[in-house]
A and B are shown apart, each in its own frame.
Chain A
Amino acid sequence: MAKAIEIRWHGRGGQGTVTAAKVLADACLSGGGYVQAFPEYGPERAGAPIRAFNRISEKVIRMYGPVLHPKVISIADATLMDAVNVTEGAPDDVIYVVNTSKDPKEVREKLQAKESQKVFAVDATKIAVESFGRPMPNSSMLGALCKATGVVEMDVLLENVKKSFGKKFAQKIIDGNLDAARRGHEEVKEG
């Protein structure tokens, strides 16, 4: 597990972005770390841009408040790159993980990423639709983020996806989400 890492998630209300941050926190906790996961609370509307955050560390986390300089920026909806400032506070070694059908090189241009900044792209929505028939990109994004950052072991992540979805959903949906996470991990590309 990483020593200390801060993550900012960009998504739209109803896409499961907050759930993704929670599942990642659970997974990192099972990996033995200290964790935080929290969304920015405002009017909660389906489709509205939302932000969520993770802090993950080997040591006790005392800092509260939004992550200002995220090491990882996960963008669960590519249209957000035109709607909100997704690059705000990005350090020179940031890792972007973007849900898009476009080539990662195109995404790099779009983000005007520096050479030292990493850009990963994955068609997380397509994977979700093919895996369980719904455009919920959170599990495939988690798989992709796991590959891009190495923040947690993939089998630990899968175990926690299973646990999280197991509380609410039928076996078919759980299996679909596990497939989506695996495919996100396999299909994410750096550009």
Chain B
Amino acid sequence: MGDIVAVTGNEACAQAFKQINPDVCAAYPITPATDLMQRFSSFVNDGKVDTELVLVESEHSAMSACIGAAAAGGRVATATSSQGLALMWEMLYIAAGTRLPIIMPLVNRALSAPLNIHGDHSDGMGARDTGWIQLYSENAQEAYDNTIQAFRIAEHLDIRVPAMVCMDGFIVSHSIERVEYIDDADVKKFVGEFQAVNPLLDMDKPKSYGPLILTDMYHEYKRAQHEVMTKVPNIVREVAADFEKMTGRKYDLFETYRLDDAEIAVVVMSSAAGTTKDIIDQYREKGIKVGLLKPRMFRPFPFLEIAEALQHLKAIAVLDRADSFGGYGPLFSEITGAVMSMNSKPAVINKIFGLGGRDYLPDQAEQVLDELVTIAKTGKVETIKEYIGVRE
């Protein structure tokens, strides 16, 4: 077994990078992801890894360099947050469309304006349609475990798709907590040797990347990209099963907590799920049948599996740490999409919480659960979308 340490989420991800020793990392600093890559750059400097660290002049360049290195045939990783991800936007689509398995911890942070360095999911949700796999982590342990699994998932020969590993900025990235590391040798064995597919640097077999495809085949190309994504859930599960064999820690497409016999439930991602579980325990002690579903894999979204897990409920609250102005929260839209396939449909409400790092406190969870209890009794939804934890 590996060391048990008290570290931040960023530190844990940097350790995963160190153990995996990617061929190339191209990065540009941005709070709160800066600290992750800074720690990794110390490993590079101290000769603990032989990664080629490319320090570029912007995130757009960081992702561009990652794309070049991945197309050349390397195992490639980077990390970013917020505006950094926003600046990468055009290159994110190119990485996914070119099917390059780049790994990127995304330390979730709010988007400007106004300028805010704290955690919410606006950045990750904005990259929802880029074609990247997205895994969300509740705590530092999950951020570490997901990073290691992400290499295996993204590099799987049946898919070759880039993956983001998300964790809440500051709340997880900068909090020190208990993490069980895995031995270096076990991590190396788990992720395996990198297998290059169609590397540009294979001079005997020249290739061309980045073709122009117009009305003749673009439509088909995009459908193929979608079809590749449909293969991801099984691979995520296979990798999770192997990971569990190695560590005893269980992962799936989503996590359920006290959900099987529940009548009402909260759907929420990342660190807020932890806080909610504590409040659920308190309500369970009062005899209220409440549970939780925490999506881990947001892209591709496991609609059918989630529908099956939620279909016995009377009422569901979907908590979004991101917003769509003039629309519903992004997670709510997915959950209602899942609910659509059910025969009997539970009532679903949407709460927007924690924007720009606003604390998600126990009383907010209680407020949501109390409302669900009422909805389950009356069957009536007063307001579909509301903000919680707002100063009036």
Contact = CB atoms under 8 A, between A and B. Distances in A.
Contacts of A61: 177-178, 274
Contacts of A35: 6, 176-178
Contact of B118 (A25, A26, A36, A41): A41
Nearest to A65: B359
Contacts of B6: 22, 25-26, 29, 35, 37
B115 interface: no
B128 to A, nearest CB: 24
Nearest to B272: A64
> What interface size band does chain A fall in?
20 to 34
A35 B168 CA distance: 18
Interface in B236-294: 271-272, 274-275, 277-278
Contact of A64 (B4, B118, B178, B274): B274
Interface string B1-15: 000111000000000
B170 interface: yes
Interface string B338-363: 00000000000000000000011110
Contacts of A37: 6, 175-177
Interface string A99-129: 0000000000000000000000000000000
Given A35-B176, A36-B177, A37-B176, A64 B171 contact: yes
Contacts, number: 63
B174 A63 contact: no
A38 interface: yes
Nearest to A34: B178
Nearest to B178: A34
A68 interface: yes
Contacts of A64: 168, 171-172, 175, 271-272, 274-275, 360
B270 to A, nearest CB: 9
Contacts of B178: 29, 33-35, 61
Contact of B176 (A33, A38, A41, A65): A38
Q: What DSSP secondary structure best describes chain A's contact surface?
A: mixed
A167 interface: no
Contact of A29 (B4, B278, B362): B4
A66 interface: yes
Interface string A1-43: 0000000000000000000011001100100011111110100
B313 to A, nearest CB: 22
B271 A25 contact: no
A62 interface: yes
Contacts of B274: 61-64
Contacts of B4: 29
Contacts of B174: 38-39, 41
A25 B277 contact: no
A34 B139 CA distance: 13
A6 to B, nearest CB: 12
A52 to B, nearest CB: 10
Nearest to A57: B178
A40 B278 CA distance: 22
B275 A29 contact: no
B176 A62 contact: no
B176 A36 contact: yes
Interface string B154-181: 0000000000000010111011111000
A21 B175 CA distance: 11
B275 to A, nearest CB: 5
B296 to A, nearest CB: 15
B118 to A, nearest CB: 7
A62 B282 CA distance: 14
Contacts of A33: 178
Given A29-B4, A29-B5, A41-B118, A65 B175 contact: no
Given A29-B5, A68-B362, 15 more contacts: A25-B177, A29-B6, A33-B178, A34-B178, A35-B177, A36-B175, A36-B177, A37-B6, A38-B174, A62-B139, A62-B275, A62-B277, A64-B271, A65-B171, A65-B360
21 contacts: A22-B6, A29-B5, A29-B178, A34-B178, A35-B178, A37-B175, A37-B176, A38-B174, A38-B175, A39-B174, A41-B117, A41-B174, A62-B139, A62-B274, A63-B275, A63-B362, A64-B274, A64-B360, A65-B171, A65-B359, A68-B361
Query: What are the 9 closest A-B residue pairs judged by CB atoms, nearest first?
Result: A62-B274, A38-B175, A37-B176, A64-B271, A29-B6, A65-B359, A25-B6, A36-B177, A34-B178
